[in-house]
Amino acid sequence: MANTIDVDVVSAEGEIFSGPALMVFVPASEGDIGIAPRHAPLLTLLKAGEVRIQTPDGGEHLIFVGGGVLEIQPRKVTVLADTALRARDIDEAAALAAKQRAEEALKDKVDKISQAEALAELTRAAAQLKLIEKLRKLKG
């Protein structure tokens, strides 16, 4: 079994994949990388994309990640995947929405809250759309 490497793909909401692999491909922030057994220890951030895992039985697993952290230890690869699509603008919109909700809640106006919520939802959706478009451009 010298030619395999243990791979764990976990997200905050659950374990996605765990097992040996011949080769793993991940979308690292500085460019896609392929990891073979005995790769040097590496720590990097991931961007949104596919994690491709080739298993010893000839199968292949494709997992979509929204980003995350990749850790390569001498005998182990760990992908800490984000379940959510994230980019700076999306995070920013979410933060803004949370702030808005708090401000509106303090004003104690029910209809205003729902209005702010709708607005926040809109900004979030818009940001997400932007990201999706960007992703599509990157791929195509």
Partner 1 sequence: MAGTKEIRTKIASVRSTQKITKAMQMVATSKMRRAQDRMRLARPYADKMRTVIGHLSAANPDYRHPFMVTRAAKSIGIIVISTDRGLCGGLNANLFKSTLHLMREWQQQGAEVNLCLIGSKGLGFFRRLGLPILANVTHLGDRPHVKDLIGTVKVMLDAYREGRIDRLFLVNAHFVNTMTQQPSVEQLLPVEPVGTADLAEHWDYIYEPSAAGILDGVLMRYIESQVYRGAVENVASEMAARMVAMKAASDNAGKLINELQLIYNKARQAAITKELAEIVGGAAAV
- CA nearest 8: which of 31, 32, 35, 40? 35
- The residues of the shown chain that bind partner 1, judged by CB under 8 A, are 8, 10-15, 28-30, 40-45, 68-69, 71-74, 78, 80, 82-86, 91-99, 101-102, 105-106, 108
Minimal distance in Å, beta carbon 58 to partner 1?
27
Closest to partner 1 by CB, 23 vs 93, is: 93
Minimal distance in Å, beta carbon 140 to partner 1?
25
Closest to partner 1 by CB, 22 vs 113, is: 113
Closest to partner 1 by CB, 22 vs 69, is: 69
Instruction: Mention every residue, 6+ apart, whose C-beta is less than 8 A from residue 11.
Output: 68, 80, 81, 82, 83
Q: By three-state DSSP, how is residue 125 classified? A: helix
Q: Strand 5-11 to strand 68-73: parallel, antiparallel, or no bridges (unpaired)?
A: unpaired
CB contact at 8 A, 92 and 22: no
Minimal distance in Å, beta carbon 126 to partner 1?
14
